[in-house]
């Protein structure tokens, strides 16, 4: 079901959690709300769930006023960071809960409920665990149960609040794949809150970046990554290198290097951003600005080059083997960012 959020605002006392946020999600879309803590993403999610009421704004689901519906009537499936499973109920009973609490007129009969539970157990690969209690499950299993429980009610929208935050890295990656598969199978509109950019970019059809209660940028992951709207977004989405630069006329000058400024660049003092793994390094006579190598080492599968550009120290990545001879400690090199973004300088 398509989701439309219009000018949603919410303040907690003096603290503005959401400031006039508007966005949309198409039917069946996987939308990630990405931002640091305090960005308002969880507040937005909770408003969608009905656990909070906004001060102003509208939410339309499938064209209908969503906010006027009670929590139960919204039929929204929510998955919490700490699972929130009912610990005195078995896996079976947890999953069946949303169906069992329906008023008699809407409640499926026992066989239908059991069938649905089985269906979900299979989908989540939880067969055999149905009689267990949450305390007898691993973190990953618990979250799968939470997901199954949310899906049991055939939700119109699925909301996930940093669902993998409490799990370790390996489990997190596995569950990411799971979630995407489940989403593709069920086709439910999904809103996923996270502060982990890798997760958001990996999973989502579209990403909405929030900061301090406002929507900063929205778009498909590769778009947003390639073309961040602000310095904040650039920095948040991945490792970033930053240098001060100046744009005068159609020339861009950074450190000791001058080149044609990209079209549409802001003029005057700017901040130059580029990715540390998106550079070409060459000896002192090559293209780009000069830098002095402070340290050339290895990090994982790539080489880590720490170099100084004037007072600024940059950490760059370069292919390791074979390490070019010119990349040695103390050497003077040239750095050419393959791609870069320019933002007006804050001062």
Partner 1 sequence: MSPGFPLAMGITLTYLGAIVVIPLAALVLKPWALGVDGVWKVLSDPRVLAALRLSFGSAILAALVDAVLGTVIGWTLVRYQFPGRRLLDALVDLPFALPTAVAGIALTALYAPNGPLGGLAALAGIKTAYSPLGIFIALIFVGLPFVVRAIEPVLSELDQEVEEAARTLGATDFQRVAMVVAPALLPSLISGVGLAFARGLGEYGSVIFIAGNMPMRTEIAPLLIVIKLEEFDYSGAALIGLTMVVMAFGMLLVINALQTLIARRGAA
**Nearer Cβ to partner 1, position 88 or 177?**
88
CA 268 from centre of chain? 33
Long-range contacts of 60-64 (CB under 8 A, 24+ apart): 60/3, 60/4, 60/6, 61/1, 61/2, 61/3, 61/4, 61/156, 61/157, 62/1, 62/2, 62/156, 63/2, 63/4
Query: Is residue 72 near partner 1 by the rule CB under 8 A?
Result: yes
For 71, other C-beta atoms within 10 Å of its C-beta total 11
Taking the least distance from each CB to partner 1, the nearer of 148 and 305 is 148
- Considering only 23-31, 146-154, 172-180, 287-295, which stretch makes contact with partner 1 by CB under 8 A? 146-154
Q: Closer to partner 1 at the Cβ: 134 or 337?
A: 134
C-alpha to C-alpha distance for 235 and 240, rounded to whole angstroms: 6
Residue from 75, 176, 180, 242 that binds partner 1 (CB under 8 A)? 75
Position 150 contacts partner 1 (CB under 8 A): yes
Q: Of the candidates 11, 97, 173, 232, which one interacts with partner 1 according to CB under 8 A? A: 97
Q: At its nearest, how many Å lie between partner 1 and the CB of residue 136?
A: 9
Q: How far apart are the first and last CA of the chain?
A: 44
- For partner 1, which stretch binds (CB under 8 A), given 3-11, 128-136, 196-204, 288-296? 128-136
**What binding mask, one character per residue, do residues 157-186 give for partner 1 by CB under 8 A, x or -?**
--x---------------------------
Helix pair 139-152, 110-123: axis angle to 10 deg: 140
Cβ distance to partner 1 smaller for residue 81 or 189: 81
Tell me how many residues contact partner 1 (CB under 8 A).
31
Is residue 309 near partner 1 by the rule CB under 8 A? no
- The reply on whether position 87 binds partner 1 by CB under 8 A is yes
Query: Alpha helix (H) ranges present in 91-132?
Result: 91-100, 110-123
The verdict on 35 binding partner 1 (CB under 8 A) reads no
Helix count and strand count (H, E) for the chain: 9, 20
Rounded to an integer, what distance in angstroms lies between the CA atom of residue 202 and that of residue 268?
A: 36
Going across the sheet that includes 64-65, the strands are 15-25, 3-12, 56-61, 64-65
85 binds partner 1 (CB under 8 A): yes
Chain contacts with partner 1 (rule: CB under 8 A): 49-51, 71-78, 80-82, 84-88, 97-98, 101-102, 133-135, 146, 149-150, 153, 159
């Amino acid at each position: 079901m398509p989701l439309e959020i219009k000018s949603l605002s919410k303040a907690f006392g003096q603290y503005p959690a959401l400031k006039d946020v508007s966005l949309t999600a198409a039917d069946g879309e996987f939308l990630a709300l990405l931002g640091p803590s305090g960005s308002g993403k969880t507040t937005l999610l909770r408003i969608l769930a009905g656990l909070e009421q906004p001060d102003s704004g509208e939410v339309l689901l499938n064209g209908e006023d969503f906010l006027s519906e009670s929590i139960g009537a919204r039929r929204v499936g929510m998955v919490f960071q700490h699972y929130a499973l009912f610990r005195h109920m078995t896996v079976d009973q947890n999953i069946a809960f949303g169906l069992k609490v329906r008023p008699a007129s809407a409640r499926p009969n026992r066989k239908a409920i059991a069938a649905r539970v089985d269906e979900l157990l299979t989908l989540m690969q939880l067969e055999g665990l149905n009689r267990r209690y949450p305390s007898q499950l691993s973190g990953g299993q618990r979250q799968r149960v939470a997901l199954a429980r949310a899906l049991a009610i055939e939700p119109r929208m699925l909301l996930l609040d940093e669902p993998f935050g409490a799990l370790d890295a390996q489990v997190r990656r596995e569950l990411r794949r799971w979630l995407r598969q489940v989403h593709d199978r069920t086709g439910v509109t999904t809103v996923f809150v996270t502060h982990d950019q890798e997760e958001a970019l990996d999973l989502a059809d579209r990403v909405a970046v929030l900061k301090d209660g406002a929507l900063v940028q929205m778009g498909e992951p590769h778009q947003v990554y390639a073309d961040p709207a602000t310095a904040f977004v650039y920095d948040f989405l991945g490792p970033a290198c930053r240098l001060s630069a100046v744009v005068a006329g159609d020339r861009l000058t950074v450190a000791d290097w001058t080149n044609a400024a990209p079209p549409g660049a802001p003029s005057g003092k700017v901040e130059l951003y580029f990715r540390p793994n998106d550079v070409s390094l060459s000896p002192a006579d090559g293209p780009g600005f000069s830098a002095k190598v402070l340290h050339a080492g290895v990090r994982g599968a790539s080489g880590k080059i720490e170099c100084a550009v004037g007072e600024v120290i940059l950490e760059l990545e370069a292919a390791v083997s074979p390490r070019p001879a010119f990349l040695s400690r103390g050497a003077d090199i040239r750095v050419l960012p393959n791609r870069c973004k320019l933002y007006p300088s804050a001062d």
